[in-house]
Amino acid sequence: MPLTMIERQAAHAVARKFCLSTEPTSHQQLLREFKDPALIIRLTNAQIWAVDTSATTPTYLPTVLTFHHCNDDKLLDAARRAVEVVVRDAKNSFMTDYDRNHRYETRLFSRQESSNYVPVPEQIALGLFLAKDIPNTIYAALDDKKTTVISFQINEHILNQDSEKVWDNYVQAYDRVGQEDRQREVAEQERQASAKKQSVAQTKSRRMDTLFRTAFNTYTLVQRSLGSGGAGTVHVVEDIEGKRYALKVLRSQAGTTRTKRFQNEIEFCSKNDHENIITVLDHGVTEGPNGEGLPFYVMPLYPTTLRSLMTKRVRPSDALPLFSRILDGLEAAHLKGVCHRDLKPENIMCDPENNVVVIADFGIAKFQEEDLYTAVETSNHDRMANFQYSAPEQRVRGKQVTSASDIFAMGLILNEMFTGEIPQGTGYKRIVSVAPDHAFLDDMVAQMIHQAPEQRPETVAKIKEELIARGKLFTSLQRLDDSRRKVVPESEVADPLISDPIRLVEVVDYSNNTLTLRLNRPVNDVWKGCFTKRATRSTGNVSAAIVSFQADSVRIIVSEHFLEQGVDFVKEYIPIANEEYASVVKQEHQKEIERKRAALKNAIAQEERRIRIIQKVKL
């Protein structure tokens, strides 16, 4: 039930006394003025004020809700302004320290230090006292009377607070007595919104807003605003066959730069063939609210994100395999000359049931020249909204942003996957504290989030090599197959004699009882050996002895009467030689991979042994 007038007067009495004298209101004072013990109990149970029971008799101190219900606009505005100033300046102080040191170090602020930000110390004192109860703002220490904040620490999550909305957000979350009023307001707003929606649905613009057409399909809006970023909004849509997808549409009035970035994102992801990078399946243009054309693209719909998985906590045994698949996607992008620059858990799509992980949202990615489909000024200092996962060089104008920035973000994500916390400063929560078996990852994280880009691992492959050396068999290296511009696993052999096996293509000449035929490509000595080894059939006129290979030619020494038998012999054993060659090369390639893995593992063991011995030496 809403507060009565007499209850609001009681709240006003507590708030006004605190503002005038920085003193609590005693139980006797409230009884003497309002003569109603039940009133005091009702307001206490509703948490309209705070109760201090440490003294002989209870005393009452104001909170945000006390001022909210005090029925005095002037007093309420003063309190709101005080909280807004404190949250704003604490947030600015956090940002200043962070940018100065490239890493925030928790420190205590005195009330005197805080009052330097504005010329009204009393306003700061009130704001600090009220803000201490608002989650994710400050941690405060009070004086003995519990009426004055003498020092405080800034909560790092203050970055997510809007100083102008923090008061209203708190009231909405914690005000119990105003629920009926809010319910009536919400019901009225919903009624008005519903009426407006029905009206708009009758217009052409509304029809265009729910239908997205491409050359060969039509997508109908199913769920609006699945998520949004700096440039676009993602919806759930359904195609003409009833299949559901995610659709990202560029925001209205996005500007030329973001439009060009959106085009680059579409072109790059449309050509994607890597399983750990998002693929654009279709794209088109829809009509915006002002009649302008808004580009959109269609992609697979994934059930969740890495952020959602981490909120539910990822098991340590699952974390590294999951992280390894993210590394595969990032490595593939880097091998193609693409720096993502906006890696965060929200941009990593997951389908746990099918063991699928993909990196999405290449909206501010930096492309190399051959992958730049439209010229766009992609500034080095472009941060967008990803402050928490951006590298130090992304926060300073003029600094070069490279793949090392992505590696920094991955270091933060790796630590958060295990600990649930993003590393900040030097005293962050480490992986060894929650997963002792993975303690070696702490050194890896420390290197990945080094302040200097040149001190981080040079490539994703370096991170993978560390995991491989630790016996993580689910991790494998990748390489770029230049002939196909495709990123493939290291286990896939890059050999043209395997990808395009040897075959006869034309007759060149016949002279001196020697028939010369052309091959589709030159052969090497290993292939020749495979042919000789497998071409075992022999007759009086035809055997492997009459056949020789030189570059892309094959010569058959045979008389005119046995030409057909000689050609058939070569045609019979070329496919068999191809199979033998592929088997030999793949086996040798696998042995080389195993030798490299053993060498990496041995190097780690030797380094750990060296450190262990040094630590034993005492001088």
- pLDDT of 315-369, one tens digit each? 999 999 999 999 999 999 999 999 998 999 999 999 999 999 999 998 877 765 4
Distance CA 596, CA 593 (A): 5
Predicted confidence (pLDDT) per residue in 499-511, tens digit: 899 999 999 999 9
Mean pLDDT over 43-53 rounds to 90
CA angle 559, 564, 566 (to 5 degrees): 65
Q: How many helices (H) and strands (E) does the chain have?
A: 19, 21
Mean pLDDT of 377-385: 44
- The CA–CA distances, whole Å, from 18 to 148, 285, 315, 400 equal 11, 60, 49, 53
Spacing of C-alpha 443 from chain mean position: 22
- pLDDT at residue 434 greater than cutoff 90: yes
Please give the pLDDT value at position 128: 93
Name the helix (H) or strand (E) containing 619: none
Q: Does residue 191 or residue 407 have the better pLDDT? A: 407
Q: What does residue 462 show for φ and ψ, rounded to 5 degrees?
A: -65, -40
27 has pLDDT over 60: yes
Using alpha carbons only, what angle is made at residue 315 by residues 314 and 318, rounded to the nearest 5 degrees?
90
Cβ atoms 97, 103 nearer than 8 A: no
555, pLDDT greater than 80: yes
472 or 14, higher pLDDT: 14
Cα 507 from Cα 525, distance rounded (Å): 23
Q: Assess contact for 155 and 138: CB atoms under 8 A.
A: yes
Q: How many CA atoms lie within 13 A of 443 on its CB side?
A: 7
The pLDDT > 90 percentage for the chain reads: 56
Q: Which residues contact 161 (CB under 8 A, 6 or more apart)?
A: 87, 91, 136, 137
SS (H, E, C) 436-491: HHHCHHHHHHHHHCCCCHHHCCCCHHHHHHHHHHCCCCCCCCEEEECCCCEEEECC
Give pLDDT, residue 275: 95
Predicted confidence (pLDDT) at residue 105 exceeds the cutoff of 50: no
Query: Per-residue b/e over 18-53, b at no fewer than 16 CB within 10 Å?
Result: bbeeeebbebeebeeeeeeeebbebbeebbbbbeee
10 Å CB burial of residue 449 (0-12, 13-18, 19+) is buried
Q: What is the DSSP letter of 458?
A: S
Mapped onto helix, strand or coil, the DSSP state of residue 282 is strand
What are 477-486's pLDDT values in tens digits?
898 887 778 8
pLDDT value at residue 101: 52
- Mean pLDDT, rounded, of the chain: 86
Q: What is the pLDDT of residue 197?
A: 62
* 178 — pLDDT class (breaks 50, 70, 90): low
Residue with the bigger pLDDT between 272 and 190: it is 272
pLDDT of residue 213: 93
| DSSP, residue by residue, 340-378 | -----GGGEEEEGGGTEEEE---TT-B--GGG-SS----
**Residue 56: its pLDDT value, please?**
80
Q: What is the pLDDT of residue 491?
A: 85
Across the strands, what pairs with 284?
296
Query: Is residue 414 a contact partner of residue 325, using CB atoms and an 8 Å limit?
Result: no
Per-residue confidence (pLDDT) for residue 386, from 0 to 100 = 57
Tokens of 71: 């029925």
Query: What is the model's pLDDT at position 100?
Result: 54
- Give all domains of the chain, ordered by start, each with its CATH number: 5-174 (no CATH), 212-301 (3.30.200.20), 304-492 (1.10.510.10), 497-601 (3.30.1360)
At residue 229, the pLDDT reads 63
- Average pLDDT (22-44) is 92
Q: Which residue carries 């909004």 as its tokens?
A: 233
Kindly tell me if the per-residue pLDDT of 589 is higher than 60. Answer: yes
- pLDDT tens digit sequence for 179-238: 666 666 677 788 887 777 665 544 444 444 588 999 999 999 998 877 666 678 899 999
- In this predicted structure, the answer to whether residue 535 has a pLDDT above a threshold of 70 is yes
pLDDT confidence of residue 117:
37
Q: Answer yes or no: is pLDDT of 462 > 90.
A: yes
State the residue for tokens 């492997």: 544
Q: Is 606 or 326 the better-scoring residue by pLDDT? A: 326
Tell me the DSSP string of 537-548.
Answer: ---SS-SGGGEE
pLDDT of residue 372: 43
Predicted confidence at residue 600, as pLDDT, reads 83
pLDDT of amino acid 238: 94
Quick one: which H or E segment has residue 526?
Answer: helix 525-534
Extended strands (E) in 83-197:
109-110, 138-142, 149-154
Q: Which of 36-40, 117-121, 407-411 has the lowest average pLDDT? A: 117-121
Predicted confidence (pLDDT) at residue 568 exceeds the cutoff of 60: yes
pLDDT band of 91, cuts 50, 70, 90: confident
Give the number of residues written for the chain.
619
pLDDT above 50: residue 399 = yes
pLDDT of residue 371: 45
pLDDT confidence of residue 381: 40
